[in-house]
Structure 1
Amino acid sequence: MSTPTSTPVVFIHGLWIHSSAWLPWQNVFREAGYEPSAPGWPGDKATVAETRANAAELAGVGIEQITASYSRAIAALTAKPIVIGHSFGGLIAQKLLASGEARAAIAIDPAQIKGVKPLPFAQIRSGLPVLKNPANRNRAVSLTSKQFRYGFGNAISETESNSLYSEWTIPGPGRPLSEASAANFSKSSPAAVDTIRSDRGPLLIIAGGKDHTVPEVVAKAAFRLYAGSRAVTDFRVFPDRGHSLVLDSGWRAVADASLSWLASQSL
């Protein structure tokens, strides 16, 4: 049972993955003495099946709306949390840290924030399910198992990739990907993050060396944007991991690395 002094940890899922995929992480963090939670995005339902059956409710949801929903979840907590996000959840985690709503953040394979310039072919191909049609900006888009295999499961077996696809994938709103891809051309992009702020909590950015959806070079470019901040900003790479690194059979190594880093920050 958690004590009143347990530090809250809010897990933030990314595009196309249901929040319940964080359950193994929540169990490990609870055992380590934290108080974890994993709210879904606006429009998400309690289960994968329910979310798939109500895909239209996700249509049009954007970065600002997602961030605001997590701000409300944080406001209901008894203490300022640590936030841990994957993919677009990693972008949201950085925004919450920069706004002072989180005491620390871990951004795993984070979607590109404004100012990130590298655009590898693998990332373009991974985003095509949404970006190939401008109308998808206001739709909910589902991945095929083949698209999931390329964008998420390329560093694991096809059997495991197909299993993860069946268990965890949900339709995703096209708007966040459209907003992030156009961020550098917008003066007021919702993908903008204050990377200069020095009175924020510590940040760890984790990259997968074989990630197609957010290639290592993209995560490293985000890390470099923080060079002007005096706050703690660390970077770690898992060289043989793809975008599925938080939910595939190797998830525990990433979770343990996250716990070790938090301990190093006395959090």
Structure 2
Amino acid sequence: MKKINSKTVVFITGAFVSSDCWAEWKSYFEERGYQTFAPAWPYKDAPACTLRQLHPDADVASQRLDKLTSYFRDFVRALPEKPILIGHSMGGLITQLLVQNGLAAAGIAIHSLQPQGIFTFKFSFYKAGWPALGFFTNTRKTYLMSFPEWQYAFTNGMPYEVQKDAYYKLLVPESKLLVRDATTPAAKVDFAKPHAPLLFLSGSEDNFIPASLNYTNYKKYSHAQSVADYKEFPGRNHFVLGQPGWQEIAEYILNWLTKK
């Protein structure tokens, strides 16, 4: 693989959580010589507790994937060099979309939400994600994940007190329409197109985005001269960014970025 020289990292947050989820990751990469950014989503530049108090929030509820992707596209284009994009869940999908636009030196999709046309028959995927779609509810109102839903979708297998602390520290309301957009052309990826190096990471215990779904996503990339790699980590759930031992994931990414 050709060496990746960029020293700029843009972390792209997923749905349902505050961009504060990257705080420790930013420090980790900055201590190793990278300049990092973790821009909040539009209408979400406030602490999670403040955003929850605004629920049901019409502004957040109006968010759509095409506009969110454009927001990050504009942010990336304003940087002095092509950055390394590291996205989680919905942020992983946005990473894929920006990589196909030639806007990244490399992309790392952590437990990435699937692009249009990729499916799974895993029951946990539908159990974790179905409430957020908000069918037969008012789409002008945000969806706020309950604590039991959070326990199943994000923090399964973790101690109760850790689950609760993460819920109140990071959980934010979400747009139902945005979640539905993953099945529309706004989430379309051209898998045959040349692209910057891409790394897909998955977790064996992720109920929300099962490892098998990530693997199918990875295997869709077919351009022979472009690099796409995949790694599954045992014991990792969807809260992988804050799950104890997250440094193992960050170290793996750094090693991948520095190899030739």
TM range (shorter): over 0.9
Q: Which of 235, 238, 245 is equivalent to 2:233?
A: 238
CA distance in 1, matches of 2:122, 2:259: 33
Q: Retained in 1: the 8 A contact 2:203–2:210?
A: yes
Aligned partner of 1:186 in structure 2 is none
Return 5+ residue gaps in structure 1 as ranges.
Answer: 184-188
Q: Retained in 2: the 8 A contact 1:136–1:174?
A: no
Aligned partner of 1:38 in structure 2 is 38
Aligned partner of 1:224 in structure 2 is 219
Aligned partner of 1:173 in structure 2 is 175
> What root-mean-square deviation, in Å, do the aligned CA atoms of Structure 1 and Structure 2 show?
1.6
CA distance in 2, matches of 1:260, 1:202: 13
CA distance in 1, matches of 2:204, 2:157: 10
CA distance in 2, matches of 1:225, 1:232: 12
**How do 1:202-221 and structure 2 match up within 5 A?**
202-221=197-216
Alpha-carbon distance, 1:138 to partner = 4.3
Matched length: 254
Question: Does 1:258 pair with 2:260?
Answer: no
Partner of 2:36, secondary structure, is strand
Normalising to structure 1: TM-score of the pair? 0.90
CA distance in 2, matches of 1:134, 1:12: 30
Letter in 2 for 1:44: K
Aligned partner of 1:249 in structure 2 is 244
Q: Retained in 1: the 8 A contact 2:84–2:104?
A: yes
Letter in 2 for 1:191: A
Q: Retained in 1: the 8 A contact 2:206–2:236?
A: yes
Q: Retained in 1: the 8 A contact 2:12–2:87?
A: yes
Partner of 2:148, secondary structure, is helix
CA distance in 1, matches of 2:138, 2:94: 21
Letter in 1 for 2:11: F
Q: Retained in 2: the 8 A contact 1:197–1:229?
A: no
Higher relative contact order (CA 8 A, sep 6+): 2
CA distance in 2, matches of 1:163, 1:85: 23
Question: Does 1:25 pair with 2:25?
Answer: yes
Aligned partner of 1:118 in structure 2 is 120
Normalising to structure 2: TM-score of the pair? 0.92
**How do 1:146-157 and structure 2 match up within 5 A?**
146-157=148-159
Partner of 1:106, secondary structure, is strand
Q: Percent identity?
A: 30
CA distance in 2, matches of 1:41, 1:95: 16
Aligned partner of 2:93 in structure 1 is 91
CA distance in 2, matches of 1:99, 1:204: 16
Runs of 4+ with deviation above 3 angstroms = 134-139
